């Protein structure tokens, strides 16, 4: 029985890889050489974290997770992640993009001068800046979206507008190096736009 279960699991895993390579990978650019920084804090959205990070890694990108400290960070929807570095250790000259998943974590990030300084510097350096769901709130608080087309979860739209963002009624939108999305249902479109922007940053497109 155990052998049958293990065999079925292996078949499912292989099938998943085949489906990914046939249906998803051909639509996305390869990202070898790309380095992406992910900003997380307690009660982040693990679905939005794992979906994007898994795709980026499968396409060849190197992903580094940063938080306030090196303690395991717990998601509000189950799951957790162990940060690789702290915010204080971030050297943006090493990266091509930053990504902020949603959940409740962006509210804390938006109150951190250190986290906001990372976002500001990323925009100043021309890195790709991506955020989904509540994540765009951090961009608004950092003051980096004036005149930029953006979207986000309904609860943060007022903040985006007040920060000068141009609200777009789409699940995911890209304006230059800024990529934003509304919620988990936007993940496929959001991740595709993110990957394309990152590929352009690398000169692969």
User: What residues act catalytically?
Assistant: 133-134
Backbone phi, psi, residue 45, to 5°: -95, 110
What ranges make up the beta strands (E) of the chain?
35-39, 62-67, 73-74, 80-81, 85-86, 97-100, 128-132, 149-150, 166-167, 172-175, 178-181
- Whole-number Å distance between alpha carbons of 100 and 119: 10
| CA 11 vs CA 14, 23, 55, 142, 166: distances in Å | 5, 18, 21, 46, 46
Q: How open is the CA angle 24-150-83, to the nearest 5 degrees?
A: 65
Q: Which residues pair with 179 in a beta bridge?
A: 130, 174
For residues 154 and 118, give the distance between their C-alpha atoms in angstroms, rounded to a whole number.
Answer: 25
């Amino acid at each position: 029985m155990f052998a049958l279960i293990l065999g079925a699991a292996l078949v499912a895993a292989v099938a998943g890889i085949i489906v990914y390579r046939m249906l998803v990978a051909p639509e996305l650019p390869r990202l070898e050489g790309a380095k992406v920084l992910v900003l997380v804090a307690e009660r982040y959205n693990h679905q939005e974290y794992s979906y994007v990070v898994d795709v980026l890694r499968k396409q060849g990108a190197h992903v580094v997770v940063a938080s306030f400290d090196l303690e395991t960070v717990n998601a509000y929807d189950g799951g957790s992640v162990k940060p690789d570095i702290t915010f204080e250790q971030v050297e943006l000259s090493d990266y091509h993009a930053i990504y902020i998943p949603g959940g409740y974590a962006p509210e804390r990030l938006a109150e951190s001068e250190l986290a906001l300084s990372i976002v500001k510097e990323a925009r100043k350096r021309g890195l790709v800046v991506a955020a989904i769901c509540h994540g765009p709130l951090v961009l608004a608080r950092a003051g980096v979206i004036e005149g930029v087309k953006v979207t986000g979860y309904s609860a943060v739209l007022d903040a985006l507008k007040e920060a000068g963002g141009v609200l777009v009624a789409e699940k995911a939108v890209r304006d230059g190096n800024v990529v934003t999305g509304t919620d988990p249902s936007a993940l496929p479109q959001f991740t595709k736009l993110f990957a394309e922007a990152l590929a352009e940053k690398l000169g692969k497109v």
